Amino acid sequence: MKNPATITIATPADLDSAATRFLELREGYSVFAFNGEMGAGKTTFINALAARLGVAADPTGSPTFAILNEYTGADGNPIYHFDLYRLDSEEEVADTGFIDYVDSGHLCLIEWPDRAGSLLDPDATVDVTIEVDPITDARTLTLRYPR
């Protein structure tokens, strides 16, 4: 495994192959912290991941107002998608039951993870940064593994 690993999404047509590559790079981790500016494509990429994992065609959308969306993959396992944008403190994040989810061993995809602060174990969380090329509008995902 290369650390960090990168995935380039040149156009929206590349989302499915990028999601496939991401899953190949998972390395047994279950907690992924997605960082990027508003509009960078965090939710869009997580939707592509969910589709690749067999989540029903119902659009997954962003859980901004619900904080957490739970999906079921084709293998029957839950997938937890957090959007912590509206929360202001670690305490508010903890009140959602966040720790139980991230400790479950099931896939957790977390947008705006900075809101969780020390609730995320740095030794068990893969940091995923999404950067947008201002000229081409391509996205680059950088995965940084804890080990």
Banded pLDDT at 62 (limits 50, 70, 90): low
**What is the Cα–Cα distance from 43 to 60, expressed in whole angstroms?**
9
Q: Please give the average per-residue pLDDT across 17-36, as a whole number.
A: 95
Please list the alpha-helical segments (H only) found in 61-137: 90-94, 98-102
**What is the Cα–Cα distance from 119 to 28, expressed in whole angstroms?**
20
Q: Please give the average per-residue pLDDT across 71-100, as a whole number.
A: 93
